[in-house]
Amino acid sequence: MMDNKPFEVPVVVELGHVGKYRHIRSAQEAAECLMTVWPLNRGQRHREALDTCLKVLEGYRSTADARRALIEAAKESEVLVPDDKLPDDRLH
């Protein structure tokens, strides 16, 4: 079974509905999210993040690289939730 390459700190994004937060905890989860539920406003950062996550899962890049790329893609698509915007009652 392949290691899912966990992140040291999850990346939190808001997908689908306002206030619907998703904590992405690994390169595998990031790749799945980027491929399946990511918003349609995808750009270059999205492609780079997906490529980086897949390379991490294959053992060619670090999980830190995947996390950084995911954050950049989330900023590009305007779905990144900054840590200071996370209310305690909305953590999933």
Q: Are 46 and 16 in contact (CB under 8 A)?
A: no
- Residue-wise DSSP of 46-62: HHHHHHHHHHHHTTSS-
C-alpha to C-alpha distance for 15 and 89, rounded to whole angstroms = 17
Please tell me which residue, 74 or 17, carries the higher pLDDT value.
74
Q: What is the pLDDT of residues 9-60, one digit of tens each?
A: 999 999 887 778 999 999 999 999 999 999 988 999 999 999 999 999 999 9
Determine the pLDDT at residue 88: 60
Please tell me which residue, 47 or 82, carries the higher pLDDT value.
47
Determine the pLDDT at residue 17: 79
Please tell me which residue, 17 or 6, carries the higher pLDDT value.
6
Determine the pLDDT at residue 87: 63
- Residue-wise DSSP of the chain: -----EEEEEEEEE-SSTT-EEEEEEHHHHHHHHHHT--S---HHHHHHHHHHHHHHTTSS-HHHHHHHHHHHHHHTT-B--GGG--GGG--
